[in-house]
A and B are shown apart, each in its own frame.
Chain A
Amino acid sequence: MSSPQASALVGEFSAIVGSDNVMTSEIDRYAYSYDAAVLEPVMPGIVVRPTTSEALGRVTRLCNDNGLPLTVRGAGTNLSGGTIPHPGGVVILTNGLTRILEINEEDLYAIVEPGVVTAVFAQEVARRGLFYPPDPGSQTVSTLGGNVAENAGGLRGLKYGVTKDYVMGMEFWDVQGNLIRSGSRTVKSVTGYNLHGLMVASEGTLGVFDKIILKLIPPPQAARSMMAIFDSIAAASETVAAIIAAKIVPATLEMMDNFTIRTVDNFRKAGLPTDAAALLLIEVDGHPGQVADEAARVEEICRRQGAREIKVAHDAGERNTIWQARRDALPALAKLKPTCVLEDATVPRSKIPAMIAALGEISRKFDLTIGTFGHAGDGNLHPTILTDKRDKAEWQRVEHAIEEIFDRALALGGTLSGEHGIGLAKRNFLVKEIGQATIDYTARMKKALDPKNILNPKKMEG
């Protein structure tokens, strides 16, 4: 931004948010040119940091008046390029909007600004004896606004659902700077279109979230964790199906393949069974009586399905050991190679054995290292490709492999992304899953709501 027109704009942004909250230097702009996706950085023209709700609205409007493309940025941890700005566009930071406005213990809801960090919120809620379940692996840094815009999931998705199941309502800015309200503080509300539902997973393309009303629930009173060890991955995945078929919904039901097990064990030397084909990590929770009963039945099912060994956690320390192994999966894999592509194609859970087999084939076909772990209980696996993006030949094979992962997942009735979003990374594949008519419909809707196409252009555009 160097033309007189540009400096006038800088002045206008400064007038709204204060000059301390406007960044235009080369290095500041470069620092907001990327996110956690493995994609090339793109420099914005200016970065602004509103600290009040009103300023957020005025900044949005100013962008629209000047036809400036804008990208709202929370913690920038999304894995699909959702916060890689438009070249020369505006980045709006939400880390100046971090107030928890209300936690209502009687009506079980909370109202937050979009920049509140997920784990900070969950902790604050827990201190009041309540529970906010969505727990993405990035929760110590991710923002609630980012969670809503990506419909983030987490380990507890199977039983407790994902972010969308907790969004009761919202206030957001439209491009003209009007505050739009949808939903309410009540459990039931059918007043108007479900616009807050539309905002979930909208990746910053339809409105700028200002306040979010989130549902809270009472926490489970008891929990029991276990680790089941399998000699065949098929047996492990059939066990997943068998547990669900027995009408038990564990809070968490995670799987790790042999490659991941070996990598994790090498990382922490936690004494994992490195010869096992797969591990299931399971936690049931709820009322103590029900927990005891369900844990016993899950154990029984695992045994019947051929688990070689089942380790049940008897105290907090043992429980932590089990979940530490799962928490270590990504860091351990990430340390093996410079570049780590974390995929999240998802299939109906009954198709997990087929998907795992497909991943094995893909890794052999393209001669790539793929470690697979993830939320087996909800069919959301994370095949993790370990590579070095500087190796051009291998990177090409990675791109082909990713495409084939999508094709296989779709052929099994699955979806491109379970929780990481479409952004820039998967937009070209969108048509394969939803079809041209859906893309056209979406484009018409977007055109009506955002005529100048300033809200995070190109993201999720098929």
Chain B
Amino acid sequence: MADLQQLALMFKNLDDQLVNCMRCGMCQAVCPLFRETGRETDVTRGKLALLEGLAAEILQDSQGIDTALNRCLLCGTCQANCPSGVQIIDIFLAARAILTGYFGLSPVKKAIFRGMLANPRLFNALTSMGSKFQGIFTKKVDDLLGSSCARFNAPVVADRHFNALATRPFRKIVPRLDTPAGASGLRVAFFPGCVVDKMFPQIGEAAVKIFRNKEVGVFLPAGQACCGIPVLTSGDRQTFNTLIEMNVELFRNAAFDYLVTPCASCTATIKELWPHLYSGSRDIAGDIARLGERTRDITEFMVDSLGLDGLGVTPAKEDVITYHDPCHLKNSLGITRQPRTLIRAAGGNFVEMNEAGTCCGCGGSFNVAHYELSKKIGNRKADNIVASGAETVATSCPACMMQMTDMLSRRDKGIRVRHVVELYADSID
């Protein structure tokens, strides 16, 4: 373990970014966590001040700072609204990496990240097994699910309403695809992401159905690895690099127009984080950049590239649908219009809910580590969904779907949680 002075030195390298925070405090208006707790250490301004305090060797309690830093949804709402344009998420991710380097990765996380995530076959095998033994999970498997992809956290807590792991994951239903472009003239690489694969295979099936219907060629290679967001947020840069390398290897030589994903977190990670956070030794910066440029959220692809603009579609009156903006689409990529357009294109009777763009409280591993807080934030979301009068809440991120399912199932209102592409796939029956 490096000593505190060395740690301070590492943080001094962040100084050029930290100094841009003018302490105006405007982030207090938007941070979903601060809204619940009112604590300055929970809001961006406080966290950035703590990092500066550590760099300036005013603060000694590095463990406390690590804890404060991890109380964060990484939702990016503060960054999207910061008047000073501070690159907050970059700072937080870099700081987590430094602190993880300093304290070391917890043994459980180390086993999971390096042993499982970086080894998709083993990971897949374990989660399949998990799906057969749900309910009688041993502590070990709970840990695996809880902190591997933050979102397989479901069975960790007894009173939690969880999505069962799919009995047949998507990769078993559609192991691989390699079809040429049809009438659309387009061919996509499809990256379903871990959550779709293991928990919501129906989203993957809906996407494939739409591609077929619109005559879009699909390249879906077997052996896709996690996009890396769970390990990155835990500060494990080593595994993050490995996962990027594995995925780049799969896609770099294939011919396609876009890489399409139905998971907002995967899209944002591949597009925004891979290009400037890869720090491995391979000479793949060019490949990563090209992949990033061609990566599209699935609703963005369907509306902007396939031209599904919903014009002339009359809404079917009965099912009222509202939409929740995933942080990784709204804050990271500024995508808010396309999913709504797609709901209309699917004939949905769309109503806007209050605070549609406010985080659902999932926040990856935040949900595992701070379940009570996560639940509070999620309940506010659930209140807004219920108040909208909708019978279905649609979104475009499977992680948000897990959280909303958990929160809504406590209400017993019969409100369904679905991915926008599922709605569209239904409409083309």
Q: Which residues of B contact A140 (CB under 8 A)?
A: 26, 29
Known A75-B28, A76-B25; judge A31-B40 contact (CB<8 A).
yes
Q: A27 touching B61 by the CB < 8 A rule?
A: yes
Contact with B along A60-77 (1 / 0, CB 8 A): 000000000000000111
List A contacts of B65 (CB < 8 A).
Answer: 27
Within 8 Å by CB of A335, from B24, B26, B84, lies B84
Tell me, rounded to whole Å, the shortest Cβ–Cβ distance linking B178 to chain A. Answer: 42
- A331 with B40, Cβ < 8 A, contacts A30-B50, A338-B19 known: no
Contact of B84 among A25, A95, A334, A390 (CB under 8 A): A334
Segment at the B interface, from A32-40, A125-133, A190-198: A32-40
Q: Which of A50-91 contact B (CB under 8 A)?
A: 75-77
Within the assembled complex, what's the spacing in Å between the Cα atoms of A339 and B22?
Answer: 7
Residue from A49, A76, A389 with most neighbouring chain B CB atoms (10 Å): A76
Name which of B25, B28, B61, B65 has the most chain A CB atoms within 10 A of its CB: B25
* From B41, B58, B83, contact of A334 by CB (8 A): B83
Please determine whether A339 and B19 come into contact, CB atoms closer than 8 angstroms: yes
* Interface assignment of A388: CB less than 8 Å from any CB of chain B: yes
Q: For the side of the interface on A, what is the size category?
A: 20 to 34
Q: Are A335 and B85 in contact (CB under 8 A)?
A: yes
Chain B contacts for A138, CB-based, 8 A? 24-26
- Binding site of A, secondary structure by majority: helix, strand, loop or mixed? loop
Question: Please, what's the 1-or-0 string for B25-48, where 1 marks a CB less than 8 Å from any CB in chain A?
Answer: 110110000000011110000100
Q: Do residues A27 and B84 form an inter-chain contact, with CB atoms below 8 A?
A: no
Interface contact A96-B38, CB-CB below 8 Å: yes
Question: A141 to B38, Cβ gap below 8 A?
Answer: no
The distance in angstroms between the C-alpha atoms of A406 and B324, with both chains bound, is: 50
Check B22–A30 contact: CB distance below 8 A.
Answer: no
Contact A95:B22 (CB < 8 A) given known A26-B61, A41-B49, A140-B29: no
Q: Which residues of B contact A38 (CB under 8 A)?
A: 22
Question: Are A331 and B60 interface neighbours, CB within 8 A?
Answer: no
Instruction: Give Cα A76–Cα B41 distance, bound, in whole angstroms.
Output: 13
In the complex, how many residues of chain B place their beta carbon closer than 8 angstroms to a beta carbon of chain A? 29
Are the CB atoms of A30 and B25 closer together than 8 Å? Answer: no
Contacts of A35 in B (CB 8 A): 23, 25
The verdict on B186 contacting chain A, using a C-beta distance below 8 Å, is no
Is the beta-carbon distance between B83 and A25 smaller than 8 angstroms?
no
B64 within 8 A of A: yes
Q: Which residues of A contact B41 (CB under 8 A)?
A: 27-28, 31
Contact status A25-B23, CB under 8 Å: no
A339 to B25, CA, bound (A): 15
The answer to whether A36 and B22 touch across the interface, beta carbons within 8 angstroms, is: yes
B32 → chain A closest CB, angstroms = 14
What does the 1/0 interface line of B1-37 toward A look like (CB < 8 Å)? Answer: 0000000000000011001101111101100000000
Instruction: Please indicate the chain B residues that have their CB under 8 angstroms from the CB of A26 in the complex.
Output: 59-61, 64
Contact status B59-A30, CB under 8 Å:
yes
Residue contact A31 to B26, C-beta cutoff 8 Å: no
Interface flag for B101 (CB, 8 Å): no
Q: How far is the CA of A363 from the CA of B265 in the complex (A)?
A: 46
Residue A330 at the chain B interface, CB threshold 8 Å: yes
Q: Do residues A27 and B22 form an inter-chain contact, with CB atoms below 8 A?
A: no
A167 on interface, CB distance cutoff 8 Å: no
Determine if A331 and B38 form an interchain contact, defined as CB atoms under 8 angstroms apart: no
List residues of chain A with CB within 8 A of the CB of B53.
27, 30, 41
**In chain B, what residue has the closest Cβ to A23?**
B39
CB distance from B183 to the nearest CB of A (A): 37
| B22, B61, B64 — most chain A CB neighbours (10 Å) | B22
Tell me, yes or no, whether A340 is within 8 Å of chain B by CB: yes
Cα–Cα distance between A41 and B49 once the two chains are bound (Å): 10
Instruction: Tell me whether B68 is interfacial, beta carbon within 8 Å.
Output: yes
Minimum C-beta distance from B132 to chain A (A)? 43
Contacting residue for A34 out of B16, B20, B23, B59, CB 8 A: B23
Partner of B26, one of A32, A141, A339: A141
How many angstroms between the C-alpha atoms of A186 and B303 in the bound complex? 59
Can you list 14 A-B pairs, Cβ within 8 angstroms, ordered by A?
A: A27-B65, A27-B68, A28-B39, A30-B59, A31-B41, A31-B50, A35-B23, A38-B22, A75-B28, A77-B24, A93-B38, A330-B83, A338-B20, A339-B19
A-B pairs with the 5 shortest C-beta distances? A331-B83, A31-B40, A140-B29, A31-B46, A338-B19
List A residues at the B interface (Cβ < 8 Å).
25-28, 30-36, 38, 41, 49, 75-77, 93, 95-96, 119, 138, 140-141, 330-331, 334-335, 338-340, 388-390
